C-alpha cells in the first residue's frame, strides 16, 4: 500500500477534494456529521501512517492511548484533588515519550527512536496544555471523544498549527451559519492556492534548485575566516526563504483544510519579514508554537519566579526566563549544538531587544523615530533572523566538522 | 477603593504611563504591556484585589485595553 506525506503530492489533494465534498455540502445545509468526519480522519491517518510506515502507525496508536489515559485520569483526579507534585508528575509523564524521541538520536548515533512518529511533538503540545488548563481549572469539561478528535484532527496532525482544546471544542461542537461558512470556504480555498505557490513554486525554487548548489559552493570555498564565504551568505538567504515558504505553505494547507471542515484553526504566520524587532518577530513567525511557549512556559515560569520572589528585579526575571524559554525551544528542535545555539541566540536577542526598548522609552525625545529608522529596524531584524536560521540550518556544522 | 481606580493605579504603575486618557487603546500594540507585564498585572490583582486569575485564563484579546481589563476584573471579583 502507498503512503502519503500530508499535502505532499497532487494525488493527496485530489483525494482531499473528493473526501471533503460531502462534508462541505453538509456544512452548507447546517449539518455536521461526526461519523463522516471520523471516517475521513481515519482514512487520511491511514494514508499517512499506513503501508510502509506501519510501525509509525502503531507508535501513534500506543502514544494516543497513553496520552488519553493521562489527560482523562488527571481530569477525573482534578475534580476532587489538586496536588502540585502530582500535577508536575503528570506533565513529566506527558512529555516523556517526546523526550525519549528527541534524545535517542543524540545518544544512539543518529538512530531514531522506535516510539517516534511524524507529528509527535505537535501532539505533545496539545496534551500538555490540556493537562495545564485542567490544573488551572480553566478546562472543566474534559470530554474523552472531543480530546481524541482534537488530537487526531488530521489536517494539523503532522506539523500543526497547534490549536487549543477549548478553542477547538467551541468550533467542533457548533455548526457555522451558511453565511459564515461561505466566508470560511472562500478563505480556505484561497489559503490552499497561496500554499501551492509557496510550497510548490517558491520553496521548490529556493530549497531544491538553489540550496544544494550553494551548499556545494560553500563547501568548496572553505579555508577562510571560520570557513565563511559569499556562498555561505547566499545559502543563509536561500535557506531562510525555503524555510519560510515551505512551512508557511504547509501551514496554509493545514489551515485551509481546517476552514473547509468548519474549524477555524489559528494561523501560523503573519508577515514575519516586516517585524521591526525580534520580539515582534515571534508574534508573527510560527505563531502557534511561539504563543504556546509564551503561555505555557514563559508566563508560567515568570509567574512562579515572581510569586516565590526568586529574583529581586522584574527585568532579571524576564531575562532569565527568556533564556530558559528559548533554550527549551532549541532543545525541542533536537539535541544538536546548532539547535541549542539557535535557541540561545534568540534568548539573548530577546533580552537585548527588551533592554533597547527600555532605553528607548527613557530617552524618547532624543531618539529619532521616522520612516528611515523603521526601514532600518526591519532590515536589521530580518538579517538577524536569517543569521539565526543559518545556525539552525546546520550548514556551519558541515563546514566546520565534516 | 473601587475596582476601576485600583486597576488604573496598577496599570499606571506597570506601564509608567497614565492610561486613564486612553481607555480603549490596545496596551499590547502600543508596547505598554507584554507577557512580563501581564504576569505582573495578574499578581498585583491577586495581592491588591484578591482576584485570582490563572495564567491560562489570560486570553490576550480579552485583556488588551484598560476598559476590557476593568470589565474582566469586575466580572471576577
CATH number of the domain to which B36 belongs: 1.10.1200.10
Among chain A residues, CA nearest to B38: A299
Question: 3-state class of A261 per DSSP?
Answer: coil
- Judge: A306–B34 Cβ closer than 8 Å, yes or no: no
Res. A1: pLDDT tops 70: no
CA nearest to A96, candidates A127, A75, A74: A127
What pLDDT score was predicted for residue A109?
Answer: 86
Residues of B whose CB is below 8 A from A136:
54-57
CA distance A30 to A45: 26
CA distance A333 to A322: 17
Sort out which chain A residues have CB atoms less than 8 A from B58's CB and list them: 295, 299
Predicted confidence (pLDDT) per residue in A268-277, tens digit:
999 999 999 9
Q: Do A361 and B16 touch (CB under 8 A)?
A: yes
User: Which active-site residues of A does the annotation give?
Assistant: 333
Check B57 against A136: CB less than 8 A apart: yes
- CB-nearest to B54 from A138, A279, A306 is A138
Dihedral, CA atoms, A135, A138, A142, A145, nearest 10 degrees?
-120
Indicate whether this complex's ipTM tops 0.95.
no
How many H helices and E strands in chain A?
A: 18, 0
- Cβ pair B40:A306 closer than 8 A: yes
Of A202 and B17, the structure prediction assigns the larger pLDDT to: A202
Contact: B35, A136; criterion CB under 8 Å: no
Cβ <8 Å between A298 and B57: no
Task: Return the pLDDT at A388.
Answer: 98
Q: Does A303 touch chain B (CB under 8 A)?
A: yes
Q: Which three cell numbers stand for residue B29?
A: 500594540
Sign, CA torsion A363/A369/A373/A377:
positive
Domain ranges of chain A: 10-173, 176-267, 270-402
pLDDT at A331 over 70: yes
Pair A58, A34: CB distance under 8 Å: no
Which pLDDT belongs to residue B1?
Answer: 63
Q: How many angstroms separate the CA atoms of A75 and A56, rounded?
A: 28
In terms of DSSP H, where are the helices of A79-119? 84-107
Distance from CA of B57 to the nearest CA of A (A): 6
Chain B closest-CA separation from residue A83 CA (Å): 16
Q: Identify the domain containing residue B40 by its residue range.
A: 3-76
Interval A256-295: pLDDT, tens: 999 999 999 999 999 999 999 999 999 999 999 999 999 9
* B41 at A interface, C-beta within 8 A: no
Across the interface, do A133 and B56 touch by the CB < 8 Å criterion? yes
Q: Who's near A162: CB < 8 A, 6+ residues apart?
A: A122, A125, A126, A156, A288, A289, A292
The shortest C-alpha distance from A191 to chain B (Å) reads 24
pLDDT per residue over A211-247, tens digit each? 999 999 999 999 889 999 999 999 999 999 999 999 9
CB of B38 within 8 Å of any CB in chain A? yes
Residue A252 has pLDDT above 90, yes or no: yes
Q: Is the pLDDT of residue A345 over 90?
A: yes
Least confident interval from A45-54, A79-88, A236-245: A45-54
Cell 515568570 maps to which residue? A302
- The pLDDT-based confidence of B76 (bands split at 50, 70, 90) is confident
d(CA A5, CA A27): 27
Contact residues on chain A for B55, CB-CB shorter than 8 A? 136, 295, 299-300, 303
What is the average per-residue pLDDT within A27-43?
94
Over residues A107-149, the pLDDT tens digits come to 988 888 999 999 999 999 999 999 999 999 999 999 999 999 9
Q: Which three cell numbers stand for residue A83?
A: 496536588
In what helix (H) or strand (E) does residue A52 lie, and over which residues does it extend? Answer: none
d(CA A88, CA A380): 40
Instruction: Answer whether residue B17 shows pLDDT above 90.
Output: no
> What is the rounded CA–CA span in Å between residue A104 and residue B49?
49
Segment A85-92 mean pLDDT: 98
Among A268, A248, A207, A250, CA closest to A7: A250
What pLDDT, on the 0 to 100 scale, is given for residue A3?
77
Answer yes or no: is pLDDT of B2 > 70: yes
Q: How many domains does chain B fold into?
A: 1
How many residues would you count in chain B?
77
Query: Would you state the pLDDT for residue A51?
Result: 85
Q: ∠ CA A198-A200-A201 to the nearest 5 degrees?
A: 70
pLDDT in tens, A346-384: 999 999 999 999 999 889 889 998 999 999 999 999 999
Three-class SS state of B47: helix
Listed residue (A387, A392, A371) closest to A276, CA to CA: A371
Measure A187 CA to nearest chain B CA, in Å. Answer: 22
Q: Is 70 exceeded by the pLDDT of residue A160?
A: yes
For chain A, say whether B31 makes contact (Cβ under 8 Å): yes
Whether residue A6 contacts residue A115, with contact meaning beta carbons closer than 8 Å, is answered with no
Is the per-residue pLDDT at A315 higher than 70? yes
A·B CB contacts under 8 A: 42
pLDDT of the residue at A342? 98
Distance from CA of B56 to the nearest CA of A (A): 6
What percent of chain A is predicted at pLDDT more than 70? 100
Question: Which of 316-355 (A) contact B at CB < 8 A?
Answer: 317-318
Sign of CA dihedral A3, A246, A191, A193: negative
B6 in reach of chain A (CB within 8 A): no
pLDDT-based confidence at A198, cuts 50/70/90?
very high
- Nearest chain A alpha carbon to B16: A361
The verdict on a CB contact (< 8 Å) between B40 and A357 is no
Interface test with A, best of B29, B30, B35, B38 (most A CBs within 10 A): B35
pLDDT of the residue at A137: 93
Look at the block and give the residue holding cell 517526546: A98
pLDDT at A179: 96
To the nearest whole number, what is the mean pLDDT of chain A?
95
Instruction: With beta carbons under 8 A apart, name residues in chain A contacting B16.
Output: 361
Note whether B55 contacts A: Cβ–Cβ < 8 A: yes
Amino acid at each position: 500500500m502507498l503512503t502519503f506525506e500530508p499535502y505532499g503530492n497532487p494525488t493527496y489533494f485530489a483525494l482531499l477534494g473528493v473526501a471533503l465534498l460531502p462534508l462541505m455540502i453538509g456544512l452548507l445545509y447546517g449539518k455536521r456529521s461526526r461519523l463522516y468526519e471520523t471516517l475521513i480522519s481515519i482514512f487520511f491517518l491511514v494514508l499517512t501512517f499506513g503501508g510502509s510506515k506501519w510501525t509509525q502507525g502503531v507508535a501513534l496508536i500506543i502514544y494516543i492511548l497513553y496520552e488519553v489515559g493521562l489527560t482523562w485520569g488527571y481530569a477525573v483526579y482534578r475534580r476532587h484533588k489538586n496536588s502540585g507534585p502530582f500535577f508536575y508528575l503528570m506533565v513529566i509523564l506527558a512529555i516523556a515519550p517526546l523526550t525519549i524521541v528527541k534524545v535517542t538520536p543524540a545518544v544512539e548515533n543518529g538512530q531514531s527512536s522506535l516510539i517516534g512518529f511524524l507529528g509527535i511533538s505537535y501532539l505533545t503540545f496539545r496534551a500538555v496544555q490540556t493537562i495545564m488548563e485542567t490544573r488551572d481549572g480553566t478546562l472543566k469539561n474534559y470530554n474523552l471523544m472531543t480530546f481524541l478528535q482534537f488530537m487526531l484532527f488530521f489536517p494539523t496532525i503532522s506539523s500543526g498549527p497547534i490549536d487549543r482544546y477549548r478553542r477547538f471544542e467551541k468550533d467542533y461542537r457548533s455548526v457555522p451559519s451558511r453565511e459564515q461558512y461561505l466566508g470560511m470556504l472562500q478563505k480556505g480555498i484561497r489559503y490552499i492556492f497561496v500554499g501551492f505557490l509557496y510550497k510548490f513554486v517558491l520553496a521548490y525554487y529556493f530549497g531544491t534548485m538553489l540550496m544544494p548548489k550553494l551548499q556545494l559552493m560553500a563547501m568548496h570555498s572553505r579555508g577562510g575566516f571560520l570557513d565563511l564565504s559569499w556562498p555561505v551568505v547566499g545559502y543563509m538567504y536561500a535557506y531562510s526563504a525555503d524555510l519560510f515558504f515551505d512551512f508557511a505553505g504547509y501551514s496554509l494547507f493545514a489551515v485551509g483544510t481546517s476552514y473547509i471542515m468548519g474549524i477555524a484553526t489559528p494561523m501560523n504566520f503573519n508577515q514575519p519579514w516586516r517585524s521591526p524587532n525580534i520580539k515582534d518577530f515571534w508574534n508573527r513567525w510560527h505563531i502557534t508554537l511561539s504563543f504556546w511557549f509564551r503561555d505555557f512556559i514563559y508566563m508560567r515560569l515568570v509567574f512562579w519566579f515572581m510569586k516565590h520572589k526568586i529574583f529581586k528585579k522584574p527585568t532579571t526575571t524576564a531575562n532569565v526566563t527568556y533564556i530558559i524559554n528559548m533554550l527549551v525551544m532549541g532543545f525541542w528542535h533536537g539535541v544538536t549544538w546548532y539547535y541549542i545555539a539557535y535557541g540561545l541566540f534568540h534568548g539573548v536577542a530577546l533580552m537585548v531587544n527588551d533592554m533597547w526598548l527600555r532605553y528607548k522609552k527613557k530617552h524618547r525625545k532624543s531618539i529619532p523615530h521616522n520612516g528611515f529608522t523603521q526601514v532600518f529596524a526591519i532590515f536589521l531584524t530580518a538579517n538577524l533572523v536569517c543569521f539565526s536560521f543559518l545556525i539552525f540550518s546546520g550548514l556551519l556544522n558541515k563546514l566546520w566538522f565534516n | 477603593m473601587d475596582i476601576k481606580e485600583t486597576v488604573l493605579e496598577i496599570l499606571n504603575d506597570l506601564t509608567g504611563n497614565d492610561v486613564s486618557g486612553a481607555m480603549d487603546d490596545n496596551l499590547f500594540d502600543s508596547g505598554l504591556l507584554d507577557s512580563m507585564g501581564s504576569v505582573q498585572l495578574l499578581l498585583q490583582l491577586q495581592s491588591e484585589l484578591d482576584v485570582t486569575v490563572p495564567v491560562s485564563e489570560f486570553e490576550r484579546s480579552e485583556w488588551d485595553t484598560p476598559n476590557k481589563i476593568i470589565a474582566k476584573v469586575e466580572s471576577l471579583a
